[in-house]
Amino acid sequence: MRLWEKGIPTDQKVLAFTTGDDPQLDMQLIEYDCRASMAHARMLERVGVLSRSEARAICDVLAEIIDRAREGTFTISLEEEDGHTAIENYLTKRLGDTGKKIHTARSRNDQVVTALRLFYREQLDGIETRLQELIQAFQSFSRQWGTIPLPGYTHTRKAMPTTITIWVGAHQAAMEDNRLWLHTVQTLLDQCPAGTGAGFGIPLKIDREFLARELGFSRIQENPLHVQNSRGKLEGDILHVLSNIQLDLNRLASDLIFFTLPELGYFELPDAFTTGSSIMPHKKNPDVLELIRGYAHRLLGLEQEVRSLTANLISGYHRDLQLTKSAVFQAFSIVGQSLEMATLVVQHLQVNETRCRQALTPELYATEAVYRLVEKGMPFREAYRQVAEQFRKGR
C-alpha cells in the first residue's frame, strides 16, 4: 500500500518507472530513516500528538526494523515504492492506529532529506578517516625515504632535481586541501531539515529545535523551501569534494605508474599488488593504480550528472531529485575504496635508491649551472645561452 493511495488504481508500468531503483537504494537508508523517525516520534510525544506509550512502541518497532535491515530480512516491495512507505507500513502492521500517526507533521520530502543527511554525515566521516590514513601513509613514506633525490619532470621529460619529500609532500598537501573542502561541506550538511514538510512548513505547532538536537545537528535549516532547493545542490557539493579527491588520486596513480615503470625503476610495487597477463607470463601490471586513475573520470561524470539535475527546476520538490541518490551512493563507494587502496599501495611501496641516484643525469643540473653564473654577476639571459650552448655541444 502506497502512502498516497486513495482508491484510484495506478498503472503498473507507471509505478515501475517512477519507482526505478529506489527499493534497492533505499535499503541503504533504512537505518537512517528509522533513526530520524525515532526522533520524530519523540518530538510528536513532546507536542502532544503521541502518548508516551505510543511513542515508545513506535521507537521499539523502529529499532526492530533496523535490526531486520541489518540481518537482511527487511524488504521494500515495488508496491511500496520506497523505504519511507515500507517503514510506515511495517509500523502500521505491527501497531495498528498508532503506526498510522507517525507521518503527522512530516512529508516524504523532508523525510528523505533528513535520512540522506544522516547517511551523508556518516559517509563523509568515513571519507575523512580514510583521507587521514592516506595522509599518515604519505608522512611515513616521507620519513622512510624522504631524503632520496629524484629527477623532477615537466612535459614528462627530465627538468630539475627534486626529492622524495617534495614529491610525496605535494600529494599530502593536495589531500590536506581536500580536507578543507570536506569540512566546508560537513558544515553545510550540519543543518536539520526535519519538520519542514513538503517545503512549506507544517500547519501544526511542532518543535524543530528538539528534532535538530535529537539528530545531532548544530542548527536547523530555517527556510522550508530552501530545504527542498538545497537537495541536489548539497549533493553536488559532496560530489565536488569527492571528485577532487579522486582527481588527486588519479595524479598519484599516474605518478606511480610512471615511477614504477621497469625502464625507470625508481619505485617498486610489491608483487602482491600487481596482476598478471593471460598470455604474457612475465607481466606484472599496475591494474590497481589504473583503476584508481580511471575512476576519476566516473566521478567527474557523476558530479556532472548531479549538478545538471538541479538546473531549470522551479523552487520546491521534483521527482528528478530522486535520481541524485544513485550517483552519490556510487561516488561514496568508489572514493572510499580508492582511498583505501591508495593507502595500502603507499604503505607497501619500495624505493630503489640506486635507480633514483643513477637517474640524476647532468641535464638536470643545467638550470643550477645558469644560477652559479648569475651569482658571479652574469645577466640571466646570457648565462642561460652560455649553458644552453655547452649542452648543445655536449650532445
Q: Can you give the binding site for ligand ARG, defined by CB under 6 A?
A: 22, 82, 108-109, 112, 317, 319, 321-322, 325
Specify which residues 162 forms β-bridges with.
150
Burial (0-12, 13-18, 19+ Cβ within 10 Å), 314? exposed
- Cα torsion at 102, 105, 109, 114 (round to 10°)? -70
Q: Which residues contact 180 (CB under 8 A, 6 or more apart)?
A: none
Nearest distance, CB of residue 11 and ligand ARG, angstroms: 16
| Unique residue bearing C-alpha cell 550528472 | 305
Nearer to ligand ARG, 21 or 60 (CB): 21
Nearest distance, CB of residue 107 and ligand ARG, angstroms: 7
Nearer to ligand ARG, 52 or 319 (CB): 319
Specify which residues 154 forms β-bridges with.
157
The DSSP code for 163 is E
155 is catalytic: yes
Question: Do 320 and 334 form a contact (C-beta atoms < 8 A)?
Answer: no
Nearer to ligand ARG, 92 or 322 (CB): 322
How many residues would you count in the chain?
395
- Cα torsion at 302, 304, 309, 314 (round to 10°)? 150
C-alpha cell at 395: 650532445
Closest residue by beta carbon to ligand ARG: 322
Nearer to ligand ARG, 151 or 199 (CB): 199
Specify which residues 150 forms β-bridges with.
162
Rounded distance between C-alpha atoms, residue 346 and residue 252, angstroms: 10
Nearest distance, CB of residue 357 and ligand ARG, angstroms: 58
Nearest distance, CB of residue 273 and ligand ARG, angstroms: 39
Rounded distance between C-alpha atoms, residue 74 and residue 62, angstroms: 11
Specify which residues 332 forms β-bridges with.
none
Rounded distance between C-alpha atoms, residue 275 and residue 344, angstroms: 15
C-alpha cell at 214: 535529537
CA atoms within 13 A on the CB side of 276: 7
Helix (H) / strand (E) containing 220: strand 219-220
Nearer to ligand ARG, 82 or 268 (CB): 82
| Unique residue bearing C-alpha cell 511513542 | 55
277 is catalytic: yes
Nearer to ligand ARG, 82 or 248 (CB): 82
Nearest distance, CB of residue 137 and ligand ARG, angstroms: 37
Nearest distance, CB of residue 111 and ligand ARG, angstroms: 7
Nearer to ligand ARG, 120 or 317 (CB): 317
Nearest distance, CB of residue 324 and ligand ARG, angstroms: 8
Helix (H) / strand (E) containing 351: strand 350-351
Q: Which of 277, 308, 315, 333 is catalytic?
A: 277
Active site residues: 155, 277
